[in-house]
């Protein structure tokens, strides 16, 4: 039986698309039950709907500075869709302990660096500034600290002499699209038959 996955996005949604495309394979252990965005203009919402995946914007701005109220609205939709596992895919809003605790051990994120190196934003620029010879991406469990949770999988790419942040980003992104579906599948296999019922 496929696990029901909800994806949170804020923009382009290329990692979301990689997950949707992987999940289209009947043998893949997850189905994408819903895509939620904190921004109405996220391009990924359109891409999801084109592929028949329900996709909804819950604009953070409607909740002003009340982050928990926004997350409760997300939570209601995830619950309604019967979501068992949450995948953050370019979700650019910090999560509060309310959401992180509700999904402890059941929320994954992809980050464009070889964590613990370079948490946060602008990783490609920082890799070049640090003269790193290697870069990559990490899939990890979501915990309270930003980009800090237990690492599930990593993929590595070389940093080349003439790289710019853009060329490096493209090389890493190609690996992200391969890594995220693979890491999610592997994570689900480790869950075996454990029930993921939640006490909402
Ligand atoms: C990716 O590089 C991801 O690792 C980071 O944000 C970017 C999102 O890109 N967290 P996309 O929306 O998946 O295309």
State the Cα angle at 185 between 91 and 100, rounded to 5°.
Answer: 40
User: CB of 111 closer than 6 A to ligand 1?
Assistant: yes
**Per-residue pLDDT reduced to its tens digit, 102-132:** 999 999 999 999 999 999 999 999 999 999 9
**Helical H segments across 4-96, by residue range:** 14-23, 43-50, 67-80
Please tell me the predicted confidence (pLDDT) of residue 199: 45
Ligand 1 geometric centre to CA of 193 (Å): 30
Chain length of the chain = 200
Tell me if residue 177 is catalytic: no
Please tell me the predicted confidence (pLDDT) of residue 200: 38
Number of other CB atoms surrounding residue 89 within 10 Å = 26
Low-confidence stretches of the chain (pLDDT beneath 70)? 193-200
Report the sign of the C-alpha dihedral through residues 113, 115, 118, 120, in that order: positive
Please tell me the predicted confidence (pLDDT) of residue 81: 98
Please tell me the predicted confidence (pLDDT) of residue 197: 55
CA separation for the pair 142, 140 (Å, rounded): 6
Ramachandran angles phi, psi of 5, nearest 5°: -115, 135
């Amino acid at each position: 039986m496929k696990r029901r996955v909800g994806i949170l996005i804020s923009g382009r949604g290329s990692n979301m698309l990689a997950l949707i495309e992987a999940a289209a394979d009947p043998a893949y252990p997850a189905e994408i039950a819903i895509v939620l965005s904190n921004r109405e203009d996220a391009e990924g919402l359109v891409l999801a709907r084109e592929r028949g995946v329900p996709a909804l914007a819950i604009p953070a701005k409607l909740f002003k500075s009340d982050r928990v109220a926004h997350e409760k609205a997300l939570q209601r939709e995830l619950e309604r869709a019967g979501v068992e596992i949450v995948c953050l895919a370019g979700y650019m809003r910090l999560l509060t302990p309310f959401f992180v605790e509700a999904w402890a051990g059941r929320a994954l994120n992809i980050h464009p660096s070889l964590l613990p190196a370079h948490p946060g934003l602008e990783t490609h620029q920082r890799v070049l500034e640090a003269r790193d010879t290697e870069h990559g991406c990490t899939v990890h469990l979501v915990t309270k600290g930003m980009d800090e949770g237990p690492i599930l999988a990593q993929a590595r790419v070389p940093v080349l002499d003439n790289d710019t942040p853009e060329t490096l980003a493209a090389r890493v992104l190609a690996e992200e699209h391969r890594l995220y579906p693979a890491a999610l599948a592997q994570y689900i296999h480790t869950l075996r038959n454990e029930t993921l019922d939640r006490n909402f």
